[in-house]
Structure 1
Amino acid sequence: MTGQIGTALHEAVRQEITRRVRSAEYGAGQALPSAAILAEDFGVSAITIKRALRDLQSAGILRSVPGLGTFVREQRRFIRDLDFSLTSYDDALRLGLKPSIHLISLTREKIQDPAFDVLEPPAGLMLCVRKVIFADDTPIMYDTSYLPRSVSDQVLDEFREKFISDVLRDHGTQFTKTKLLIDAAPASDEAQQTFAIPNGYPTLRRLYRLSTKEKSFSVFGVTESPFDRLACVVELDADHKPPRRRK
């Protein structure tokens, strides 16, 4: 590459590949040429190309699939209301989404993540359900839910095709309160594999507790979504007055 005075070679490569993605020269989902071909195209070393590609993966523009190559990430973002927990089929429909679920595993585990402390989870073993939630055939959430072990095998089997809250409601459970903790956190190992994102990639993380009339029966969980895949919006009344602080 020529004319890149004062700009590191890998930065120039990164800028040009970004331009090609933005202009659809490299379309969403398309595989990029190999590092060797790109190196010849740009007139730089393969090491410079690989460094630029790593930077673009971390930025969410590209994704790497072992054994297949580097691809342009689909830049599609789903927006949902902050007060929607998206734990039921109706929640998804209200957002205009076509939801589907892929069950990953059913195990018995303790909640060990200290981030759950604010939700006051129990200390013993719980049923752990891991699944991926799709919207319009695009994965948007990696969900890990924890339920009391008293849930029957019949109910557990229905989790393969339905949202947990929908299944429990069908079997007579009445939810009384939803408590949420929303923050940003690096992607877990499971989320990295699900969304083909690198280690340390930022995610929108939502921890929740669904309470019922029975104090001993609550559903806990955490969902992860890449920051460029899902966002939340909130609307407040203009005349809303915050509570006064006590002196």
Structure 2
Amino acid sequence: MQIIISNSSKEPIYEQITKQIKSSILTGELHEGTALPSMRNLAKDLKISVITTKRAYEELERSGFIYSIVGKGSFVAEQNLEVMREKKLKVIEEELSTVITNSKEIGLSLDELQQLTRILYEE
């Protein structure tokens, strides 16, 4: 598992870690029961604070992506991929609604919006 941190991103580092681990789980790169690096090792590898990795792991645990066992570490939790897909679809629908509203406000046609979407999707 490789995590890339961008110091120039407006997104907090713990969120960058959380998103990348979630993505690895959802794409199947990380399987159920796979051990994650310890918070200290991850912090050391990324040259960040242990507090930051702790916050990311706590967020992942709260979301049900991982579980922790005291003295043993953190592991990928069993995932119901269909439920996860539905949650992601809901988020996409909400974000697309915002995009459509913004597009209408500036007079962007449906064809122009589809063309823009196609370009961005294929990148």
Calculate the TM-score normalised by the size of structure 1: 0.29
Find 1:58's aligned residue among 62, 75, 80.
Answer: 62
Answer whether contact 1:57 1:63 (CA < 8 A) is retained.
Answer: yes
Greater helix percent: which structure? Answer: 2
Please name the residue that 2:50 is paired with. 46
- Relative to 1, partners in 2 of residues 1:57 and 1:36: Cα closer, same or farther, differing over 3 Å? same
Q: How many pairs align?
A: 80
**Matched residues in 2 for 1:14 and 1:59: separation?**
10
**Matched residues in 1 for 2:35 and 2:46: separation?**
17
Find 2:19's aligned residue among 9, 15, 18.
Answer: 15
Structure 1 unaligned residues grouped into runs of 5+:
78-226, 229-247
Find 2:33's aligned residue among 19, 29, 34.
Answer: 29
CA-CA distance at 1:46 after TM superposition = 1.1
Identity of aligned residues (%): 33
**For 2:32, what is the secondary structure of its paired residue?**
coil
Which structure: larger Rg? 1
**Matched residues in 2 for 1:28 and 1:43: separation?**
27
Residue 74 (structure 1) aligned with residue 78 (structure 2) = yes
Calculate the TM-score normalised by the size of structure 2: 0.56
**For 1:70, what is the secondary structure of its paired residue?**
strand
Answer whether contact 1:61 1:72 (CA < 8 A) is retained.
Answer: yes
Structure 2 unaligned residues grouped into runs of 5+:
85-123
**Matched residues in 1 for 2:70 and 2:11: separation?**
30
